[in-house]
Every structure is written in structure tokens, then in C-alpha cells.
Amino acid sequence: MPLYQPVSFINGQWEGAISGATFDVINPATGDVIEKVADLSAAECVKAIDAAQEAFPKWAVLTAKERAVALRCWFNLIHEHAEELTHLITEEMGKPLTEARGEVVYGASFVDWFAEEGRRIYGDVIAPHMADKRILAIKQPVGVVAAITPWNFPLAMITRKVSPALASGCTVVIKPSEDTPLTALAVCELASRAGIPAGVINCVTGMDAPAIGRVLTSDTRVRKVTFTGSTQVGKILYRQSAESVKKISLELGGNAPFIVFDDADLDAAVDGAILCKFRNAGQTCVCANRILVQSGIHDQFVKAFTARVVTMKVADGKTKGSDIGPLINADGRAKVEEHVKDALSKGATAICGGHIHEAGPLFYTPTVLTGVNTEMRMASEETFGPVAPIYKFDHDEEAIALANDTRYGLAAYFFTEDLSRTFRVYEALDYGIIGINTGIISTEVAPFGGVKESGLGREGGPHGIEEFLETKYGCIGIKP
């Protein structure tokens, strides 16, 4: 039995567009069409909301343990089909198989975590204000959830949103990226096999993302919207959701600084920067967008870092030993090219790279730029590609000011061996996630999310399930 059908998944059934319309899913490494997927209109998406609304009361009334059993079965099935999912992610998204394999494990970890976390949704008994009163506060699922997910982590961004929603008793309508719908559909198929009832998880495929987004945000039955993507789109969804005062979680753009102080362990800092910058070809919202290196260690760092970068293998993600896969599409490639061209025109130097790679039109050579300054576009915009701009600074205060000089506030990193500096910088950086002496910070057990224009709310950890709950206060009069 195939792991997915190339149509939408609504109320436990595979459904194509009424018009018969489809869109192509392209392998970015080869340019080949992988699949033609149903292109549903915005109006057809209402059927998914109908299904989620109808399924909600029956799912919400189950005990936390009953929901946990279903989620745990889903987790097991994801692991059983890990290799199929791995190859599917690489084929439609492009990341190397080793990274895709890691994403499957990471994505499954959220199902595992929230299967248990759903059993720890506790209320409160509050000391009353009067002798003849008793006060309770209970937590209940918010209702139907719209989950709008990106292409760069087509499995993990779904499980990170859907798992806490289901564990809390909510039902979900997923709108995956039109670039990577196949992984989403496969995940839904596995959820169905796990015994999660029809209508609890629905997945709508379609090219007209703005119109589908308007349907999901305007329908009053949708009580919560959770979105990962660009700040520009997040603001649109935020405005649209305000009309019906929905709960909303937004995980938006970043502009992550990666600070290396003079006293850092150089080898550890280089390792951390390589992992943080070049994972997924630099196409992550928490990858290092600006590498800030203190003057005393700057030249050593650039030399050691560049020596590692030039050895990276650029190839189709299915090729053994591939480190850097393709960019997702031509628009993504154009942005990288524009950022590098802008930096070079304003005085930066390309120590290596700086051009399209011979592997194909969507492959970009891993690039190291020095002499970067705040006048360049990449200082204020996400590059979202395998380009490492290196800035030089002299003092701690300068590094902190440079790091915080952005409207974004998702992730930041720094390397130091000084304990006092660790606390000073950790507290001073205006970001939701801080990596200290590490370039990898994502985990299911901790709260993931940003401040400023990087978003609202948290995903993962005990905080993640709170986003899908409402607190209901009860005041009970008793006879004295």
C-alpha cells in the first residue's frame, strides 16, 4: 500500500480537486516532476474544516491516555517507515539523506513527547475569596486548529504543531507548502493507520496559499492558527485572524547572530558554526545568518572555518557523502545571488565560493565572505542559503549591539569559556532561543520560539501544549 495518495486527505478519505486540477511537485536537485498533486480551491478547503469540526467533540472527550495510545502508535509507524520518509523528504525538498534521516527522528520525537505531555494537563484549585465559594481552573482544548507549515522541514514542522494539538484534544487542518506536500500526506496516512479517527487530521493541498489562508483565518470554527514561515506572511495571517480573535502561534523569520569571543574554544566554535550555518544548505530559520568574530581570534577562525567549508561536497541529496543539497527553487537561488552580489559591491571579499555550483542550477557553492558590514543587505535580511558572512568586532558591548540590531529575535549563538561573560551575554541578547557553546539547539523537550518580529508563542517542551488550551474558571457556591 502506498504511503500517500497525490490528493488531499479530508475526513479520512483521499480527495482530488472537483475541477481535476493538479500542480507539479518538483525535485529541486534534478528538476524532474515527482508527482502531480490535487490543486484544491479555497472553497473546497471548507470541507476539511467541516470534518475537523465534526470530529472535535468525539476526540476531545477521549481520555488523555486514549489519545496518548493513538499518538504512540503514530510515533511507532513513523519509525517503521523512517527510510521511506527519509527518501521522500530528500526527493521533494533536496536535503541530504543524512539530514532527512535526522529530521524523521526529530519529527517523531514531538509525537512521542506530546503523547506523554497530554497526560499532564493539570488544572488548579484556587484559595477562595469567600467562605461559601470554591474556585477551580480547568484546561480544555481550544477546538479546530489550522496548521500552516513550510517546506524546509516538511515532516518536523507538522509533527511539532499537530502532536500537541491532538494530545490536548484539538482537531487539525494542515496546509503544507506547495513545494513539499508529499511528506505531509504520508504523515497523514500513517496517522490514519495508527487509528486516529477520520476528521481529526486533515490535509489540504493547493497552490493558492493566500486564498486558502484567508479561508482558514476567516472561518469562525477555526479557533487557533499556528504558522511557520516568513514574517511577511505571518503578519498577514495575524491581521486576518484578528477579525475573529483567534489564538495564534507564529514562528517567523530570523537573523541569527553567531558570536565567537576571543576566549572561545576555536575548534568547537568552528564545528558549531559549520553545523549551524550549512545545515539544510543554510535554509533554516535558526541558522547563523551573521557570524561575529572578535578581532583577537578573527583571522584564526576565518582560516580554520574556510578550510572546512571548501571540503564540503555539493551534490544531489541522494548522493553518498553529500553535505550541501540544492536550494528549494529559483526564487531562493536568486535571493542568495542578490545578497552575495550586494555584499561584494559594498566591499566584502569572497574567501571561497560566491557562485552557482556546477552540480546544477539550484546548487550554490558554499561561500565565506569577510569584510562584511551593516550596510549590506545580508545584515538585515535572511539569506537562506549556504553563505557565511563574517563580521569583526572588538568589544563585548559591540557584539551585543550588532547582534540585537535587527527586527528579528528568534535564535542567537555565542562561544566563550568565561562563565561571567556567559551570563552577561545570555541575558543581554534579545532572542527567544540562545545556543551557548553549541550550534544545534532544537529539541522536543524545550520551548522553541522568538521575540520581536520573529513571532509569538512557543513550540515544544511543556510550554508547547499550552498554546492549544483554554483556561476555564469555575466559581462554585456551597452551603456553609
Residue 404 in this model has a pLDDT that exceeds 80: yes
Q: Mean pLDDT over all residues of the chain?
A: 98
> What are residue 349's DSSP bridge partners?
370
Phi first, then psi, for residue 439 (nearest 5°) are -105, 0
What angle in degrees, to the nearest 10, is found between the helix axes of 82-93 and 64-80?
70
The C-alpha atoms of residue 265 and residue 73 are separated, in whole angstroms, by 43
Radius of gyration of the chain (CA): 23
Verify whether residue 15 is a known catalytic residue: no
Verify whether residue 45 is a known catalytic residue: no
pLDDT bracket for residue 2 (50, 70, 90): confident
CB atoms within 10 A of CB 105: 14
Give the whole-number percent of the chain exceeding pLDDT 70: 100
- Nearby residues of 396 by Cβ (< 8 Å), 6 or more positions away: 261, 421, 424, 425
The C-alpha atoms of residue 398 and residue 403 are separated, in whole angstroms, by 9
pLDDT for the residue 280: 98
Q: 159 exposed, middle or buried (CB, 10 Å; 0-12, 13-18, 19+)?
A: buried
pLDDT for the residue 480: 85
Which residue among 285, 444, 453, 459 is the active-site one? 285
Residue of 290, 300, 291, 288 lying closest to 262 (CA atoms): 300
Give the whole-number percent of the chain exceeding pLDDT 90: 99
CB atoms within 10 A of CB 208: 16
Mean pLDDT over 124-128 rounds to 97
In the chain, what are the domains? Answer: 8-252+453-474 (3.40.605.10), 256-443 (3.40.309.10)
pLDDT for the residue 387: 98
Calculate the alpha carbon distances from 152 to 94, 218, 328 in Å.
Answer: 9, 27, 8
What would the grid cell of residue 113 be? 513527547
Looking up cell 490536548, which residue turns up? 168
Tell me the one-letter amino acid at 50.
D
Looking up cell 558554499, which residue turns up? 366
Tens digits of per-residue pLDDT, 253-277? 999 999 999 999 999 999 999 999 9
Residue of 6, 5, 7, 10 lying closest to 173 (CA atoms): 10
Tens digits of per-residue pLDDT, 417-468? 999 999 999 999 999 999 999 999 999 999 999 999 999 999 999 999 999 9
pLDDT for the residue 43: 94
pLDDT for the residue 407: 97
Tens digits of per-residue pLDDT, 388-399? 999 999 999 999
Tell me the one-letter amino acid at 367.
T
Residue 1 in this model has a pLDDT that exceeds 90: no
Which residue among 91, 99, 251, 467 is the active-site one? 251
Tens digits of per-residue pLDDT, 137-157? 999 999 999 999 999 999 999
Cite the beta strand spans of 387-437 per DSSP E: 387-393, 411-415, 433-436
Element (H, E) at 257: strand 256-260
Q: What does the angle CA 158 – CA 162 – CA 166 come to, to the nearest 5 degrees? A: 165
Tens digits of per-residue pLDDT, 91-114? 999 999 999 999 999 999 999 999
